[in-house]
Amino acid sequence: MAASPDGEWGCSLHGPVLPLDPPCPPSTEGLQEALRGARVPFWLPWPLPSGWLVTGFLRAGDERSGVRGSGVAVSGPGLAAGPADMLLVAEEVGVGLGAHYAGLPGLDPGPAADDGPPHAKVTADGRPVPLWAVPGPSDRAVYAGEAMGRWLWAVLWPADAGVMLLDHLQLIDLRAPGMDLDLPYGAPCPWLAPSGDA
């Protein structure tokens, strides 16, 4: 990915794209940095599942158009065995942040989203949001839907962590006015490495 002389970012595979900043660290300062210029929600499950911690933030966009793709990572004990990680992505159409972390070749979930009855539901900012399972790599579970006119992705590692979405998570937008939560932070999520591979 590189910037052209006119400041547009492009990819040889996908054409014009928005730059992805390095992950913001899991801290109060990292959250403040992530939220600067945000035009999309930063979704967080709240209350967090028992034993889970906030483990990083993502932002895709540029100084001209603002943050048009966001990610919030949380990590904790899996329901089956071992640790688990979940990344919630909100993005405008065509950004491709969710598809990247879902391990998909395109910019959106394709026809799987909105195909038949939903496979899971969350509540985002008090509104029910249906999610559909999206086929992807076998090491993760991927769900996608639409909330507030933007894509909402949930990517979970390992794949069996996807059962967490059966608990009908409540999501809050960390941009909301007066949001003053004492968030528990943990070590950075390994899946937020620039390559998206831990």
Residue spans of beta strands (DSSP E) within the chain? 2-3, 9-11, 15-16, 43-45, 53-62, 66-77, 83-91, 120-124, 127-133, 141-147, 150-157, 170-173
- Tell me the pTM: 0.90
Domain chopping of the chain, boundaries: 21-192
Secondary structure class of 102 (helix, strand, coil): helix
- pLDDT at position 7 over 60: no
Q: Hey, what's the torsion of the CAs at 104, 105, 108, 111, to 10 degrees? A: -80
- pLDDT at position 25 over 90: yes
- pLDDT at position 6 over 80: no
The rounded distance, in Å, linking the Cα atoms of 133 and 154 is: 9
Q: For residue range 116-154, what is the model confidence (pLDDT) as tens digits?
A: 899 999 999 999 999 999 999 999 999 999 999 999 999
- pLDDT at position 198 over 50: no
Higher pLDDT, 66 or 14: 66
Q: Structure tokens of 155? A: 């990517």
